[in-house]
Amino acid sequence: MKPFEQIVTEYGPVVLRVCRAVLGPQEAEDAWSETFLAALKAYPDLPAGANVEAWLVTIAHRKAIDVTRAAARRPTPVETLPERPSRIGRQEDWDGDLWRALKALPDRQRQAVAYHYLAGLPYKEIAALHGGSTDAARRAAADGIKTLRTTYPEPVDHREVAR
Amino acid sequence: MSTASDPTADRPLAEESDSITSASDSRTGRLFAALPVQDAPAMARLHERLIDRAQREGILDVAYRTLDSPVGTLLLAATAQGLVKIAFAVQDHDAVLRQLAERVSPRILNAPRRLDETSRQLQEYFAGERTRFDLPLDWRLSKGFRREVLTHLREIGYGHTESYAQVAAAAGSPRAVRAVGTACATNPLPLVVPCHRVVRSDGGAGGYAGGPDAKLVLLALETAA
């Protein structure tokens, strides 16, 4: 079994990317933290040969739901800020336009797009997460991507023009 | 230490039509280009937060860090009980971490703070300012006769040496000279448990887990003081 530090190094960035796509830049770090803490707790019992990335995305999926619910319950504005590293100036980590476009997608589509296109999860495993069929997961991802292409202005790619 | 892995590898359940992922679909890849693949400051922040939470919840079973020293880069590892392992660079730190994952727990994180005091005392030792260590030790990687030998080694004072035969006699088994050699060679806590102070009867330094040169450096350090 690999030391957990290696799991964080190998999969930490992709899980953060998925959390950002599903939750946006604000809540993504809370979801990442909850995911890796839960993963660390359960890690010794992970069967040998398990697909670690799919396992982490499964945990992240549940934590993202928890974080969304917690955010919905949280009164706004909060009286005292929770103790955490400042994120001021880090909002521009990535393009807010992409998040706006992703946020406009239905949850299922946004999750299917993130899990398949960012984490590389097969539709079958996404279906298991959502409790639907493999075809439904495939359709959700395809619909999501199709919408994104029209709502999100893709960066101009000169290679495409040259081709 | 990490090996960049293909996210689509090791996925026997993947259907054929699913093998097209972001990596191979360049158009979709560009769509997400605004999402950084690597965000080092965010990862550093999240790593720190993970260590804090794991420590608080008591699930950081093994904390480790590295320390530069005159005998090369050392790997230091500690459980909640105390220092459990010191390894030299020649012992291959990645291999040592894998061993710790098997023999102690895979809940291992690079969490330097738990090793602040160990690092401080080792630095003082290498500077010639410290002649004995005062650290909680976790002996779980050493058992039976080997552990008895190592316990005795702590009584050999700074700047002194004993032969393998003397140590065998002190441990109550005068004929177990080779077993003493093995105990020293497999000492999980070198430097702090001073196996470098055990030398050959003919005056030679003998073997050392950190390499023969490292042993000479340590013996010279202690005689110079």
State pLDDT tens for residues B165-174: 999 999 889 9
Catalytic residue among B111, B122, B179, B195: B195
For residue A21, give the nearest of B18, B35, B102 by CB distance: B35
A44-53: pLDDT as tens digits: 999 999 999 9
CB neighbour burial string for B4-19, b if at least 16 within 10 angstroms, e if fewer: eeebbeebeebeeebe
Are B106 and A5 within 8 A, CB to CB? no
Are A6 and B2 within 8 A, CB to CB? yes
Is B184 considered catalytic here? no
Residue pointed to by tokens 């969490």: B111
In this model, does residue B136 exceed pLDDT 90?
yes
Residue of B1, B17, B18, B19 to mutate, testing the A interface (most A Cβ within 10 Å of its Cβ): B18
> What is the pLDDT at residue B3?
44
Interface of B with A in 17-76 (CB under 8 A): 17-18, 21-23, 25, 28, 30-39, 41-43, 45-50, 53-54, 57, 59-60, 62, 64
Give B-chain residues touching A163 at CB under 8 angstroms.
none
Q: Which of A83-97, B31-45, B138-152 has the highest mean pLDDT?
A: B138-152
| Residue of chain A minimizing CA distance to B49 | A33
Residues of chain A with pLDDT > 70, as a percent, come to: 80
**Mean pLDDT, rounded, for B138-154:** 94
**pLDDT confidence band for B17 (50 / 70 / 90):** very low
In this model, does residue A83 exceed pLDDT 60?
no
Q: Max Cα separation, chain B?
A: 74
**Mean pLDDT, rounded, for B50-78:** 97
More confidently predicted of A130 and B192: B192
How far is the alpha carbon of A79 from chain B, nearest alpha carbon, in Å? 22
> What is the pLDDT at residue B122?
98
Least confident of A74-88, B49-63, B129-143, B193-207: A74-88
> Is the ipTM above a cut-off of 0.90?
no
Based on its alpha-carbon atoms, the radius of gyration of chain A, rounded to whole angstroms, reads 17
> What is the pLDDT at residue B23?
43
B127 touches chain A (CB under 8 A): no
**Mean pLDDT, rounded, for A127-151:** 94
Least confident of A18-27, A81-90, B75-84, B177-186: A81-90
Give A-chain residues touching B107 at CB under 8 angstroms.
4, 40, 43-44
Are A117 and B28 within 8 A, CB to CB? yes
Residue of A117, A134, A148, A160 to mutate, testing the B interface (most B Cβ within 10 Å of its Cβ): A117
B207: left (phi over 0), alpha (psi -120 to 50) or beta: beta
Contact (CB, 8 A) for A112 and A121: no
Give A-chain residues touching B49 at CB under 8 angstroms.
29, 33, 84-85
Instruction: Please state, in angstroms and rounded to a whole number, the distance separating the CA atoms of residues A68 and B178.
Output: 63
Contact (CB, 8 A) for A148 and A105: yes
End-to-end CA distance of chain B: 37
Residue of A36, A40, A99, A129 to mutate, testing the B interface (most B Cβ within 10 Å of its Cβ): A40
Calculate the alpha carbon distances from B116 to A45, B44, B52, B78, B97 in Å: 30, 19, 15, 11, 19
Instruction: Please state, in angstroms and rounded to a whole number, the distance separating the CA atoms of residues B169 and A58.
Output: 59
Give A-chain residues touching B98 at CB under 8 angstroms.
2-3
Are A118 and B110 within 8 A, CB to CB? no
What φ, ψ does residue B207 adopt, rounded to 5°? -75, 165
Give B-chain residues touching A157 at CB under 8 angstroms.
30
